[in-house]
Structure 1
Amino acid sequence: METQSEHHLLNGACRSVIFGKYEMGRLLGQGTFAKVYYGRNLETSESVAIKVIHKDHVVKKEAMMDQIQREISVMRLVKHPNIVELKEVMATKHKIFVVMEYVKGGELFDKVAKGRLKEETARKYFQQLMSAVDFCHSRGVSHRDLKPENLLVDENGDLKVSDFGLSALPEQQRNDGLLHTQCGTPAYVAPEVLRKKGYDGSKTDVWSCGVILYALLAGFLPFQDENMMTMYRKMFKSQFEFPPWFSPESKRLISKILVPDPDRRIKIPAIMRAPWFLKGFKSPIQDDPNQEEIKEPDSQITPKSSPPFFNAFELISSMASGFDLSGLFETRRNSGSLFTSKCSPPDILVKLESLAKKLNFRIACAKEFKVKMQGNSDGRKGKLSVTAEVFEVAPEVTVVEFSKSAGDTLEYRKFCDEDVRPALKDIVWTWQGESNCQS
């Protein structure tokens, strides 16, 4: 049932308090299925943006429902200084409240609409854009709709990537390893997306970044025409001209980005090594909440006689199918793999230690029904470290949660899908999100 404050909010009241935590004020924007309001955290006085989604508007539209879930999942996955931060997600029976970082400065589009930017300013925004996009790609996320309207600028003049509604995750790829959904904004979309033969999302993002860089430096787009097909033909042939004020280095870099053949298009690591790009570049400090130092235990620690109690509401919320977001987006459950088991906690611990040995992972710490294991080989982001924690729901029901402590997210997913699941199938009752249980 809607609270009185929610009712006032949606009927035009200036201010409203939701969940006793956030004060909601003026309307910031409105889309087809959601409204975004300015908000304030009553405890910290921090400004936030709150997207309000009516479940009734989207629950019957499967594609829209999937888009909302994917957007929130992606935002939880890509925590970076130059990406709009997702604070938390709350829900009532009828509405979903997505609380995000409030970016005060507006869209980068508004700055470009006033005319071209100075080269130093354009370079700074492009550096921050590439840093954010590279981070997304390292997490397996392709944005697919990069344009100045989706790039915000905060009060400090720093860029923030927003609007992940069209983003893609690896599971959306077909058997050929490519994406096939045609999406994006015509002036910024890569040629291979239009060919309908499948495309690499990360390579299309690079093309869009090249168009953005050109627009920042020129004040207009590289490919323009009143006739859409004529514009597309220019894109397929990369027919554009540089204004006379472009520096030789910037022209050289853009020429390597706006290459119609995605296999010949420059990649992000090479872009970030380009002399023009490196001028004044400062890599943003990334505080990865998943990073945790693994240390050898000083001595054997005797585990407690029983594991921590796992709130039954969390279990129901996270395991249930349907459009229930309360468990999926809880803060402490971050990119983990969760399963229930009818085995006893001690038996599960033995199985976990056996799994670690089988996979040649060393057990870095085993205490209080929590097992920390670390791989021996270096991956994309160092050695993969995984924590498995056992929770007791009832005398005959136990929950086991895997989470990444350090290393690359894609390698962690592969570890869960290809190593953990087959090895533990004899003790698993059901995995999170799966409805088929073992008898």
Structure 2
Amino acid sequence: MELEMSFQTKNKICFAMDLMTNGLLHYMENDSAHCLENARRWNAQLALGINALHNMGIIHRDIKSENVLIDIRQNVRIADFGLSYITEEPKPLIPWWDYTSDVKGTIHCMAPEILRNMKKPGSMKYGTPVDWWAFGCVLYELMPLPDHKAGLFDSADAIMEYVSWHSKHYGTFDLFPAFHQLDPPMANLLVGLLNPLALLRYGFRQVTTHRYFSNEDGTSEFNGACSRGRSNLTCL
């Protein structure tokens, strides 16, 4: 979200920003049909936003539905950078580099490499893939499923149980039980995004070329994704 202006009164410092209609979580809980209609466009916009942050030297570390806002043009805005990792000088982050081992984020969207530092502080450094794991968690929540409000994981133990399941079924074609009810393209995308091995996890390149975002006319949902809201103004 951009800061349009700021001003100060005797007792307050005020920031002026664009008006948001609601958070993504609100739509998930109250208007599943609207989520279904806009899911692929919102997902594309969120991926573009995450990639833009990484190019500016920022790992958000708290991507979740509560921090994804929808503006008056029905475009995605990423909010709340209080837990972000930010480089001293703005420069693109290298996807396969590790930058920090701090435990930051919200448990149900926290990548395994962050969680491991909860029990053994500083034991595992991580980088940009943690945001793509969280992106996968948001994608799952956006699907109009009977239990989508609860999300994919509800605790650190649930995430580590998923990691254990993945380890036991690595190299097979078995699909994680929670993905059975999804369309094959979405299930395949989630398998890539929620790979416990950060080096093998899908990133921006794999997301933008994935068939989930392919349209019937041969175009991609990423084509003009930020200008297909309710007006021609761009998002992010």
In the superposition, the TM-score normalised over structure 1's length comes to: 0.41
Give the aligned length. Answer: 197
User: Shift in Å at residue 155 of structure 1?
Assistant: 2.3
126, 141, 148: which one pairs with 1:200? 126
Contact conserved, 1:178 with 1:199, CA < 8 A, in 2?
A: yes
Indicate the structure whose relative CO is greater, using CA pairs within 8 Å and at least 6 residues apart: 2
163, 173, 179: which one pairs with 1:236? 163
User: Shift in Å at residue 240 of structure 1?
Assistant: 5.0
106, 126, 129: which one pairs with 1:185? 106
User: Shift in Å at residue 281 of structure 1?
Assistant: 2.9
Identity of aligned residues (%): 26
Deviations 1:273-315 (A, max 9, x none): 112124333233798xxxxxxxxxxxxxxxxxxxxxxxxxxxx
The corresponding residue for 2:212 is 276
Contact conserved, 2:103 with 2:115, CA < 8 A, in 1?
A: yes
Q: Equivalents in 2 of 1:258, 1:277: separation in Å? A: 17
Between structure 1 and structure 2, the one with the greater Rg is: 1
Q: Equivalents in 1 of 2:213, 2:47: separation in Å? A: 10
Distance 1:98 1:181, change over 3 A: farther
Contact conserved, 2:65 with 2:138, CA < 8 A, in 1?
A: yes
69, 72, 87: which one pairs with 2:4? 87
Contact conserved, 1:188 with 1:207, CA < 8 A, in 2?
A: yes
Q: Equivalents in 1 of 2:17, 2:76: separation in Å? A: 15
User: Shift in Å at residue 121 of structure 1?
Assistant: 2.0
Distance 1:102 1:232, change over 3 A: same
The corresponding residue for 1:212 is 138
- Alignment partner of 1:152: what SS? strand
- Alignment partner of 1:132: what SS? helix
Q: Equivalents in 2 of 1:98, 1:250: separation in Å? A: 39
121, 128, 135: which one pairs with 2:52? 135
User: Shift in Å at residue 255 of structure 1?
Assistant: 0.7
User: Shift in Å at residue 191 of structure 1?
Assistant: 0.8
Contact conserved, 1:108 with 1:152, CA < 8 A, in 2?
A: yes
Distance 1:231 1:88, change over 3 A: same
Contact conserved, 1:153 with 1:160, CA < 8 A, in 2?
A: yes
Contact conserved, 1:116 with 1:215, CA < 8 A, in 2?
A: no
Q: Equivalents in 1 of 2:194, 2:67: separation in Å? A: 20
Once the two structures are superposed, the pairs formed by residues 401-416 of structure 1 within 5 Å of their partners are none
**AA of the residue aligned to 1:164:** F
**AA of the residue aligned to 1:106:** N
The corresponding residue for 2:63 is 146
Q: Equivalents in 2 of 1:278, 1:199: separation in Å? A: 34
Contact conserved, 1:234 with 1:240, CA < 8 A, in 2?
A: no
- Alignment partner of 1:223: what SS? coil
1:107 and 2:23 matched: yes
Please report the RMSD computed on the Cα atoms of aligned residues, expressed in angstroms: 2.7
- Alignment partner of 1:128: what SS? helix
Give the helix-richer structure, 1 or 2. 2
Contact conserved, 1:211 with 1:222, CA < 8 A, in 2?
A: yes
Distance 1:275 1:111, change over 3 A: same
Q: Equivalents in 2 of 1:120, 1:254: separation in Å? A: 19
User: Shift in Å at residue 200 of structure 1?
Assistant: 3.1
Q: Equivalents in 2 of 1:229, 1:276: separation in Å? A: 28
User: Shift in Å at residue 147 of structure 1?
Assistant: 0.7
Contact conserved, 2:23 with 2:70, CA < 8 A, in 1?
A: yes
Gap runs ≥5 in structure 2: 118-122, 167-175, 216-220, 228-232
Contact conserved, 2:110 with 2:134, CA < 8 A, in 1?
A: yes
- Alignment partner of 2:85: what SS? coil
Once the two structures are superposed, the pairs formed by residues 160-175 of structure 1 within 5 Å of their partners are 160-171=77-88
The corresponding residue for 2:152 is 222
Give the strand-richer structure, 1 or 2. 1
**AA of the residue aligned to 1:282:** N
**AA of the residue aligned to 1:241:** A
Gap runs ≥5 in structure 1: 1-83, 288-439
1:125 and 2:66 matched: no
User: Shift in Å at residue 165 of structure 1?
Assistant: 1.4
Once the two structures are superposed, the pairs formed by residues 292-303 of structure 1 within 5 Å of their partners are none
